[in-house]
Structure 1
Amino acid sequence: MDQFDELLHQRAAEESFPLPEDYAGRVFQTCAALDENSRRRQRRHWETWVAAALALFITIPNVSPSAAAAMAEIPGLGALVKVVTFRSYAYNDGHSSMDISVPELSGSDAADTVNQEVHAYTDELMTQFYKDCERIGNGYQDLRVSSVVLTNTDTWFTLRIDATQTEASSYAFSRFYHIDKATGQMISLRDLFRDGTDYVSVLSNEVLRQVEAQMSANQALAYFPEDFAGIDAEQNFYLDANGNLVLVFDEFAIAAGSMGMPEFTIEKNIYQDLLKEAYQKGFV
């Protein structure tokens, strides 16, 4: 990186970058002003200009968080801007190893809230990892944390954080973070349902029904229905392509480790009457 690049990044980090409100409109106005002959004559110049504009469009939000937030507020533009950086941590002492990579979101207060929760969660995992290093000495352990964006539409965003801890055996678990873009709020399972509704029992009964049906069809399955007391009020979930709830259980939570992380798709007709009015017609 040359001195100019370093200066650019430093200025972007230290100073606000007010994005013109008519930034997107200027491109379309310029297109409309060109007649067909002008387009042909100036095609090479136009392609060069567009390439430069796109480079600026991509670079600004990545070097300036304030510019990214401003771009996200432009009608019709925010949903197209995806600004993602990563917090990464690695450790290896020859016995214990750790590899954590989680995204940093930008563009809204809800994104900031997700960042805070993800940071707190990964900090907790790292703290426990280092404690375990002291406990096991020269023993072996490994911690891997990764992520994937499951949904990113105009109305809904879901980030999944996957972790695997390995010592004598391995243990896999996940956390899901949701943003309702229509309200600008971070959402948990309870936020989908009207106050006073017993959605926990309704969803729990359906999970148990599916467990028993699967075990009847395949006796080799190792669920623990007798130990299942019901889902958590803040149960891990995501939305499938049809907008159905998919409830996700950590390894060993409802079945033997050989079953991995069981997932149960709950059809909308089972819980739709319990949803808040805003979600009656769907989520995504």
Structure 2
Amino acid sequence: MKKWFAICAVAALALAFIVPRTARAEYFAPGQEERLEDYNLTYKTTTVSVGEEVGEETARKVNSELQHAAFDNLASVNAQANTLAYTDQRAEGSYTQEITRQTPAFVSVRCARRFSVEGRPVYSDATGAVYSLTTGERLALGDLFTDSSDYLSIVKNEMERQLDHPAGLEDDQPFYLTDTQLVVLCKAGEQESMQRQEHEVNIPLERLQGLLKEEYR
């Protein structure tokens, strides 16, 4: 019973991240690990940053977004961690930012979360973002393409081919880029199910060469 309580508590904690947070204050040193050890949860945060060689203002904007994402994540954990105080099952979690690709035009970042109870994985998910290194702004999926309508059929077909019951594309659809793939983060599962989870849909860039703007190929 205690084990199931711990697993449910961690699942509830993880689902709490879906709720947007507005707390802004903390600073995480890029490349260093920051640990939260409270109640029965050990939580590790690892962040990344871009250097000022991309421009001071651009670096400030991008790094501010990455810092805010990390702090919002930790604030959610801190707010929910007391649910684990009522079990003797030890939980561990992590939030890790990783630069998946960087060019003079953009930087792509993948953010992953993992939770385990007594060493057994119980929850994981990921999200991603691509930032312009010209403006520092976060890019939408359609910004990568010469015609924002042409890519939709390819992306949707890949989602349907790789997943069962994928959710539709949204205006703020999370994604990231690697040297060889566009990775779209998409929820999948029965519409009425509480178990809809985030999945990574991998699309080879070579399939998109005629559609991608030159700087994203």
Question: TM-score normalized by structure 2?
Answer: 0.63
Alpha-carbon displacement from aligned partner over 1:115-146 (angstroms, at most 9, x marks no partner): 22222222222222122222332334332012
Q: Which residue of 2 aligns with 1:103?
A: 48
Letter in 1 for 2:216: F
Check conservation: 1:141, 1:166, Cα contact below 8 A.
Answer: yes
Which of the pair is proportionally richer in helix?
1
Higher relative contact order (CA 8 A, sep 6+): 2
1:224 corresponds in structure 2 to 164
Task: Give the aligned partner of residue 179 of structure 1.
Answer: 131
Report the equivalent of 1:246.
183
Q: Distance in 2 between matches of 1:271 and 1:230?
A: 23
Q: Does 1:264 align with 2:202?
A: yes
Superposition map of 1:1-284 within 5 A: 85-86=30-31, 88-93=33-38, 95-107=40-52, 108=55, 109-139=57-87, 140-166=90-116, 170-181=122-133, 183-186=134-137, 187-193=139-145, 197=149, 199-208=151-160, 210-211=161-162, 223-225=163-165, 228-242=166-180, 244-249=181-186, 253-254=187-188, 261-269=199-207, 272-273=210-211, 275=212, 279=213, 281-283=214-216
Residues 269, 103 of structure 1: alpha-carbon distance in 2 compared, 3 angstrom cutoff: closer
The percent of aligned pairs where both chains have the same amino acid is 16
The Cα of 1:255 is off from its aligned counterpart by 6.0
Q: Alpha-carbon deviation of 1:169? A: 5.9
Instruction: Name the CA distance, whole Å, in 2 between partners of 1:202 and 1:263.
Output: 12
Q: CA 1:230 to 1:91, structure 2 compared with 1: closer, same or farther past 3 Å? A: same
Contact 1:92 1:98 in 2 (8 A): yes
CA deviations 1:159-218 (Å, max 9, x no partner) are 22222134696222223232334x34432323224576364454213321x22xxxxxxx
CA, structure 1 residues 144+157, in 2 after alignment: closer, same or farther (shift >3 Å)? same
Q: Distance in 2 between matches of 1:267 and 1:122?
A: 29
Kindly report the root-mean-square deviation, in angstroms, between the aligned alpha carbons of the 2 structures.
Answer: 3.5
Contact 2:112–2:124 (Cα < 8 Å) also in 1: yes
Question: Which stretch shifts more, 96-105 or 149-158?
Answer: 149-158
Q: Distance in 1 between matches of 2:207 and 2:176?
A: 17
Offset of residue 110 of structure 1? 3.0
Matched AA of 2:140: S
Greater C-alpha radius of gyration = 1
The answer to whether the 8 Å contact 2:39/2:84 transfers is no
Which stretches in structure 2 are left out of the alignment for 5+ residues?
Answer: 1-28
Are residues 268 and 233 of structure 1, via their aligned partners in 2, closer, same or farther at CA, if it must alter by over 3 Å?
farther
Amino acid at match of 1:157: V
In structure 2, the CA distance between the partners of 1:110 and 1:189, relative to structure 1 (3 Å rule), is farther
| Letter in structure 1 aligned against 2:158 | E
Question: How many angstroms apart in 2 are the aligned matches of 1:229 and 1:271?
Answer: 25
How far did 1:100 drift?
Answer: 0.7
Which consecutive unaligned segments of at least 5 residues does structure 1 have?
1-83, 212-222
Counterpart contact for 1:200–1:230, Cα < 8 Å: no
Q: Please report the TM-score for the alignment, with normalisation by the length of structure 1.
A: 0.50
